[in-house]
Amino acid sequence: MLTATELAEARAMQTSLMASTLLIERRDGVTEGDYSATTQWTPIYQGPGRLQADSRTKAPLVDLGGQLVRPASYAAAIPWDAPPIAIGDRVTVTASTTAAGSYTIQSVEHGATFVTCRRFTAEEDT
């Protein structure tokens, strides 16, 4: 069993491994115009994170212009003390040497007692 000090050290170590900067936003309504609607997003987190290709999950096929494609799936993490995240939140990589683009959170892990970071899976926005 970890002590409180060891758990704090493990969480700090996890954060030190997060080489990207992520912006996570939550849908906050829709503004309708005369001929269009625009989704409004509210930032809920911006800071260090980790996003890497995850071959363990199989996203469902999506029809894009008559072709079936499988969006890439990513395992991701943000520090433990970040605000809670939810399925459907949008993740944008704002700084990274390995990833770029916009993603949608597909699942959130709610871990056990000794959680060192907030883990989730995300898929590329298509």
Model pLDDT for residues 19-44, shown as the tens digit of each residue: 999 999 999 988 887 788 888 999 99
For 119, the token pair is 């883990």
Question: Which pLDDT score is estimated for 55?
Answer: 67
Model pLDDT for residues 57-92, shown as the tens digit of each residue: 566 666 777 777 766 788 899 999 999 999 999 999
Pick from 114, 118, 109: which is nearest to 7 by CA? 114
Looking at the DSSP assignment, which residues form a beta bridge with residue 72?
A: none
- What domain range includes position 29? 4-124
Number of structural domains (the chain) is 1
Question: Which pLDDT score is estimated for 112?
Answer: 58
CATH number of the domain bearing residue 66 = 2.40.10.270
Residue 9 binned pLDDT confidence (cut-offs 50, 70, 90): very high
Which of residues 50 and 112 earns the better pLDDT score? 50
pTM of the model: 0.80
Q: Name the 3-class secondary structure at 32.
A: strand
DSSP state of 38: E
pLDDT > 60? residue 113: no
